[in-house]
Chains A and B, each alone.
Chain A
Amino acid sequence: MKENAKAVAIDYPILGSAFLLILAGLTCLYSISTGSERSLFQTGFGRQVVWFFLGTGLIVAVLAIPLQWIFRGVYFFYGLSLVLLVLVFFIGKEKIHRWINVGIFHFQPSELAKIATLLALARFFSKEKILGWKRLLGTLGLVMVPIILIIKEPDIGTATVFFALWVGMLIWAGMSIKIALWVLVPFLAFVSGFHPVSFIGFMIVVVVLFVLTKQKWWVGLGVGALCVCLGRMAPIIWSTLASYQQQRILIFLGMKSDPHGAAYQIIQSKVAIGSGGILGKGFLNGSQTQLRFLPEQHTDFVLSVLGEEFGFIGIALVMSTFLFLFSRIFRVAKTARYPFASFIAAGSVSILAFQFLVNSGMTVGLFPVTGLPIPFLSYGGSSLFMAMVLVGLTVNVSSHRYEY
């Protein structure tokens, strides 16, 4: 990096749209929190306001750190996040190891690990211009360690975010789309492996495709072996899932009726959103929201509060803000000349866009209930900090994007 290169002013459109989204989230949380006569700080709204101010401090801090320092500290930071992920198993609460309790705040190390893995991948990818098999396996290793630890927690939803991050950055690294699809094959084999019939069927399709596309025999053999390994792993992992997780997947796939009311959440969410109509029922007037028909509405289903009280107009506004934010970050990725910076922006948009798609898909019944929060809007300190730090990083990258 040359210091004399032209610096760009702070990217206010990115910052501004992120803050707008956070405000929208706070509005929904306020609506949920009314009627409760607890002191303001004890409500979800009150706490989120505190996280918001602390997160703003984080953004300022991230902006102040020179990109070069971040570059140097990347692997240390990655190691630290892994240590924390291991630590949850020792100091976490029984059975489910997702949080570390720091006084008033349940800290979720997996959110920190998202940032750390993103930075580690960015540095790894930015070193050379040519993407080879060795590089590919190296990055696979980098994402698999946190993925396995997080699956053990167990928190499958969050683990998929890392996978999405990896695929996004691979493609950004210039991997040909055709080959990217072949890399995906073993993972699809894993998914199909949950049932023997689907697995055999999938493998036949793979073999036929291989023959048709005239792949080299050793590539075929390698990918084939990987497919079999991962496919065999699926039943084992299935048996380690908590029963409520198995339920949710089965219910979503329509393989099971609804014995304990897990589909109830989706039904209620759809009624809330649908009944909002075009203009919504108005702030604090959503009967579904106010009557607490919706469980988890402050975390996973915050979008259905928005949909009910502000209608399609509200949804469209928030969604276009997301679209605008993502396109700005994408632009930073495209224009940044320093590869490390470009990969940071590309990874950030991968994480944020993936969570956005999965969460909103869930609230309208297009995806299973995964427990992934929607960035900026959902209640939760760790998740909000994660999203705000990503914004801070991108804005930092953006102001130096013409440097090299």
Chain B
Amino acid sequence: MALQDTGRERQARFLRNGFLFLFFILILRFFQMQVLSGSVYKERSDQNSVRQIPILASRGLILDRKGQVLVENRPSYSLFLVPFDFRKNRTDAVTISSLLGLSVEEMETRIEETGGGPFTPVRIIRDMDFETLSKVEENRFDLPGVFYQVELVRTYPSGIRATHVLGYPGEISGSELESLKDRGFSRGDIVGKSGLEKRYDAALRGERGYKYVEVDVQGREVGNFNGQRDILPVPGKNLTTTLDAELQGQVEMLMDTWRGAAIVMDPRNGEILAMVSTPDYNLEPFAKGLTQNTWEQLTNDPDKPLLNRAIQAQLPPGSTYKLILTIAALEENVITPEEEIYCGGHFWLGDRMFDCWQPGGHGNVDLLNALKESCNVFFYNLGLKTGIDRWARYGRELGFGSATEIDLPDEKQGILPNRRYLDIKYSKQGWGKGMVVNLSVGQGDLLVTPIQMVRLASAIAMEGHVATLHVVRSVQEPLSGAWGENAVRHHSLEAISPKTYGVLKEGMHRVVNASGGTGRAAQVSQIAVCGKTGTAQNPQGEPHSWFLGFAPYKDPMVALVVVVENGGSGGGLAASIAGHILRWMFRQGVVS
């Protein structure tokens, strides 16, 4: 069927007339607006113009498990500057800068950073001190384009630090804005930059409101605009965390002089009771926004205080990882708990010699004693018998080489080498049994994070019933009071039998309680503590000191990990810090 009319003339005329009709309407509309009603619009534009001023919502609070406030807001004064006015007149700029104690260059940099047009106010100072505020107030009329506004900033009333868990909010950066612009973010917004502030930013932030004010041609406010109703901001939601503020403070005190991490958790439900990474930094000054200077100090510090070591430090685990090899060997029937291996202090692989940490050797040792005394030679042999594939499989099963997916941002995954990884890194011929021997005692290419280690301790404590690790228990609507629980997923590690867990627990009990055990510093009177020490060699110097464990032996209620970078032997420092934590907890009845 032909769909054509005869000839093209009619169609051409139709298209042209259709366009001309719409074009005519448009011209009429412009004529009506500009010529007929021009004076009305002109009046509106000349006298007053509506300006939309955003009102930031107050961020939600962060509470500990008992409802103690860890993070709240306090009012502060922020100073704003309209770049156009600042740049118009050099003498004004100099007056302003001398009054605020900032150089003109510094203020220019701030304006540059914020971006935006010459009439978009730029926040020059957050949390202005009273002295500056009164100076600004006194000289109000000599400071064109300068105004201040009350804004809420973060404050930390509890006395504990929990720096890395809580994190800090700050003004949205240019690059963040670029990627978030389409989700309703705009310049000057405050967003979470790290920790819970970042991870739960969407809940904490609330919704921005708007105030409509009429301003004159100079941009001065002349009053509220009645044509458009103001929109109130919706306050952010509160977070109730699983942290125990008292315990957190205690662990912070114990870790204070060291560089490392400690995590205490409840293995029954995956709740993190305390998470400490040292060295940390003070969150309070972040309310003002950091000066370039302090920021550079923090980023250039060789001790890397910005790093949350609990989830971001990737370290060799040393002997603690013998637990994984034990699991693999028992599950694959490579060894029975009774089988003995002779340790003479050395292990020969061809012409290469590997040492046991005990120069005289351990003599004949079975599995339980090898765990207790952390005999290297025993595990060198066991590693070669088990082989890299089975060793790597059980490591993966227990969560190594992948993130635990705790509700904190930027978690690292560590490295769990397997055959493919080593083939790629060293080529097929480039590695052999020597590599396997090293991995058997948690050295070599293997890297783990403290959070993965505490997850291992909790998996053993609960005999394979693992709950997702989390720091936030619930999110609360501030107005309605409605609670939303954070869903906790439980799952079982089916691949490992109860018998294997029995052997592991017995071995870990002996590490802490039997004579000759490496972790005796972690003992608690009347409580059966189980644990494993690790002394991880590393290229940075002294070995890293590890301890992971749980308590009590039957019905575990707490699992923990302590690592001190370059802290020497695991039995010494880490086990003794863990002992202090556990003794304090059981004495205070934090767990009972």
Q: Residues of A with Cβ closer than 8 Å to B?
A: 35-37, 93-96, 130-133, 136, 168, 171-177, 179, 242, 244, 258-261, 264, 267-268, 270-278, 287-288, 290-293, 307, 311-312, 315-316, 319, 323, 326, 330, 333-334, 353, 357, 360-361, 364, 366
**Docked-complex contact B34 and A307, CB < 8 angstroms:** yes
Which of B30, B42, B119, B120 lies in contact with A364, CB distance below 8 A? B30
Residues on the A chain within 8 Å of B353, using CB: none
**Docked-complex contact B50 and A334, CB < 8 angstroms:** no
Question: Smallest CB–CB gap between B12 and chain A, Å?
Answer: 6
**Docked-complex contact A292 and B34, CB < 8 angstroms:** no
**Docked-complex contact B119 and A292, CB < 8 angstroms:** yes
The CA of A364 and the CA of B41, in the complex, are separated in Å by 13
Question: Smallest CB–CB gap between B180 and chain A, Å?
Answer: 9
Residues on the B chain within 8 Å of A133, using CB: 1, 3
Question: Smallest CB–CB gap between A311 and chain B, Å?
Answer: 6
Q: What are 29 A-B pairs with beta-carbon distances under 8 A? A: A35-B119, A37-B87, A96-B182, A174-B8, A174-B11, A242-B182, A264-B228, A271-B41, A272-B45, A273-B33, A273-B34, A273-B41, A274-B34, A275-B41, A275-B42, A275-B44, A275-B46, A291-B215, A293-B49, A312-B38, A316-B27, A330-B15, A334-B8, A353-B19, A357-B22, A357-B23, A357-B26, A361-B26, A364-B30
Known: A261-B52, A274-B40, A361-B26. 20 other contacts (CB 8 A): A35-B87, A36-B117, A94-B179, A172-B8, A173-B4, A175-B3, A264-B50, A268-B50, A274-B38, A275-B41, A277-B39, A288-B45, A292-B118, A292-B120, A315-B34, A316-B30, A326-B19, A334-B12, A360-B26, A366-B29
**Docked-complex contact B35 and A277, CB < 8 angstroms:** yes
The CA of A270 and the CA of B228, in the complex, are separated in Å by 16
Listed residue (B19, B22, B42, B84) with the most chain A CB atoms within 10 angstroms of its CB = B19
The CA of A94 and the CA of B185, in the complex, are separated in Å by 14
B346 CB within 8 Å of chain A: no
The CA of A258 and the CA of B230, in the complex, are separated in Å by 11
Given contacts A176-B4, A179-B3, A334-B12, contact A273 B30 (CB under 8 A): yes
Residues on the B chain within 8 Å of A319, using CB: 23, 26-27, 30
B516 CB within 8 Å of chain A: no
**Docked-complex contact B16 and A330, CB < 8 angstroms:** yes
Question: Smallest CB–CB gap between A235 and chain B, Å?
Answer: 23
Residues on the B chain within 8 Å of A361, using CB: 26
Question: Smallest CB–CB gap between B379 and chain A, Å?
Answer: 46
**Those 3 A-B pairs whose CB atoms lie nearest each other, nearest first:** A274-B41, A275-B45, A277-B38
Which of B2, B50, B51 lies in contact with A132, CB distance below 8 A? B2
Closest to A135 in B: B3
**Docked-complex contact B33 and A364, CB < 8 angstroms:** yes
**Docked-complex contact B210 and A261, CB < 8 angstroms:** yes
Residues on the B chain within 8 Å of A94, using CB: 179
Question: Smallest CB–CB gap between B97 and chain A, Å?
Answer: 16
B183 CB within 8 Å of chain A: yes
The CA of A319 and the CA of B26, in the complex, are separated in Å by 9
Residues on the A chain within 8 Å of B7, using CB: 174
The CA of A173 and the CA of B35, in the complex, are separated in Å by 41
Question: Smallest CB–CB gap between B367 and chain A, Å?
Answer: 50
The CA of A319 and the CA of B182, in the complex, are separated in Å by 32
Which of A136, A272, A274 lies in contact with B3, CB distance below 8 A? A136
Given contacts A174-B5, A259-B231, contact A267 B49 (CB under 8 A): no
B14 CB within 8 Å of chain A: yes
Residues on the B chain within 8 Å of A96, using CB: 182
Given contacts A174-B5, A274-B42, contact A36 B118 (CB under 8 A): yes
Closest to B84 in A: A35
B222 CB within 8 Å of chain A: no
Given contacts A177-B5, A177-B14, contact A277 B42 (CB under 8 A): yes
Residues on the A chain within 8 Å of B34, using CB: 273-274, 276-278, 307, 311-312, 315
**Docked-complex contact A95 and B217, CB < 8 angstroms:** no
Listed residue (B2, B35, B84, B183) with the most chain A CB atoms within 10 angstroms of its CB = B2
Given contacts A176-B5, A361-B26, contact A35 B118 (CB under 8 A): yes
- Interface membership of chain B positions 27-65, coded 1 if the CB is closer than 8 angstroms to chain A and 0 otherwise: 101110111011111101110011110000000000000
